[in-house]
Amino acid sequence: MVVTTNTKLDMKFKKSEKLYKKGLKNLVGAVNSPVRAFTSVGGNPLFIKKAKGSGITDVDGNKYVDLVLSYGPMIVGHRHKKVQKAIKKALKNGYSFGASTENEIKLAKIVCDAFSGMDKVRFVNSGTEAVFSALRLARAYTGKDKIVKFSGCYHGHADALLVAAGSGLATLSLPGSKGVPEDAVKNTLISEYNNLESVKKHFDENKDIAAVIIEPVGGNMGVVIPQDNFLSDLKDLCKAYGVLLIADEVMTGFRSKFGGVQELFNVEADITCLGKVIGGGFPVGAYGARNEIMEMVSPLGDMYQAGTLSGNPIAMASGIATLSELKKQNPYTAFNSVAEKIESFLLDSAKKYNVELVVNRFGSMMNPFFTKESVVDFPTAQTSDTEKFGIFFWEMIKNGVFLPPSQFEAWFLSSALDNSDLKVIKKAIDAAMGKVSEA
């Protein structure tokens, strides 16, 4: 709950500006992840001091309703008392051992029980690490080299996945970042989300495809939802061609149900990647599958993957407490209700001010697009007016709502949101939409 909320009249950012200038000396762009630089919305980045429940506070003392939530993991709110208690208890025993602990087994059971078709899981330290390990596993299991990914789906910054689509819907990839050699992406093929034919074309032209990797609900192009049985048809296609399906649920895991969104779309991936929520705010990733696949992983098999900090005891304690509290709360019906209300705030305000807007939402994730197009893939997501989003973003900030500083990042809900927060959000949306209409 946010006890007090700013208005744009008393919002100041002097300390954030000072820290930004200071950070430029020894940090790249004064940040440690590009989106934090606020490049796509303009202005200097905000520096955060603390958070509690549904609220977050910057170094200038400005308070916000938090719809970023560290990009998803703070699903039960910041510093939940039960999670905090578990972390403090774990800290008393030590921070890292480079050896196994009982809590790794406990969290593994919670995760595996929540996903059908997942017998074993391997914990790692990030979603990126989970994904590139899963790809290595798919290649080891199938004996094939190529993978298919979808334009607009982000799977971390491993070389093979930093690719940009060519001029066609089904094309060989080109490096999407300086420093990525062409050889690193030569086995990565690009398809269009919600376009099964773009996948089938690759399957027909390439006989050495190990896996297709997908965000079941696209969260890195602004919440894009699979249409017309796309996921179940994709799974059937993969099975017919002997290709593994990898579901990247780093973002969607535990956000629309206790488990993954695969079940909601009647799909069971061969390998699932997780992160975010299962660490409760600590650096955690995981990949899991049925026994016959996971037993390829060292020490049971010849696919090597290791990590000194994997299964960190503090992260395991936080993850167990977060998932236990989440299962107890079962907030998913409430999430849908709250998301529906925020969607109505956005659409009603857009209509009031004659602003073109569509809203995509799924469970506790949502995103508005300043376009009249239905957003069903990356090209349609890119029709959104990002300049309008920049105006909208800063007005939301000035009216006490903390949003991701990018049109193409999802908003996240926590179970700590209450009616007073919704009033702040509604008021902020109306002020922001009014400002957009003046542009």
Instruction: Report the pLDDT value the prediction gives residue 189, as an integer from 0 to 100.
Output: 94
Q: Does position 2 have pLDDT exceeding 60, yes or no?
A: no
pLDDT grade for 10, boundaries at 50, 70 and 90: low
Residue 399 confidence class, pLDDT cut points 50, 70, 90:
very high
Residue labelled with tokens 């399906």: 245
Q: Average of pLDDT values for 317-336?
A: 98
Buried-exposed string 34-44: b where 16+ CB fall within 10 A, e elsewhere: ebbbbebbebe
Average pLDDT over residues 17-26: 97
- pLDDT tens string 139-162: 999 999 999 999 989 898 887 887
- Asked whether the CA dihedral 120, 123, 127, 128 is positive or negative, the reply is negative
pLDDT at 171: 34
In the chain, how long is the greatest CA-to-CA distance? 62
What is the tens place of the pLDDT at every residue in 163-199?
753 323 333 445 667 888 788 788 999 999 999 999 9
377 is catalytic: no
248 classed as catalytic: yes
How high is the pLDDT of residue 15? 97
Is the pLDDT at 200 greater than 60? The verdict is: yes
Has residue 127 got a pLDDT over 90?
yes
Q: In 3-state terms, what secondary structure has residue 93?
A: coil
Domains and CATH numbers, the chain: 14-66+331-438 (3.90.1150.10), 81-329 (3.40.640.10)
Q: In this model, does residue 5 exceed pLDDT 80? A: no
- Which of 60, 248, 385, 421 is labelled catalytic? 248
Tokens describing residue 251: 């973002």
Percent of the chain whose pLDDT exceeds 70? 95
Does the annotation count 154 as an active-site position?
Answer: yes
Mean pLDDT of 334-358: 98
143, two tokens? 């004996």
- Please give the residue that has the higher pLDDT: either 186 or 288: 288
Who's near 222: CB < 8 A, 6+ residues apart?
A: 360, 367, 369, 375, 381, 384, 407, 408, 409, 410
The per-residue pLDDT for 175 is: 60
Of 20, 64, 141, 154, which one is the catalytic site residue? Answer: 154
User: Which two three-digit tokens encode residue 314?
Assistant: 């503090």
pLDDT of residue 172: 41
What is the average per-residue pLDDT within 226-233? 96
Contact between 284 and 125 (Cβ < 8 Å): yes
How many Å apart are CA 282 and CA 278, to the nearest integer?
Answer: 9
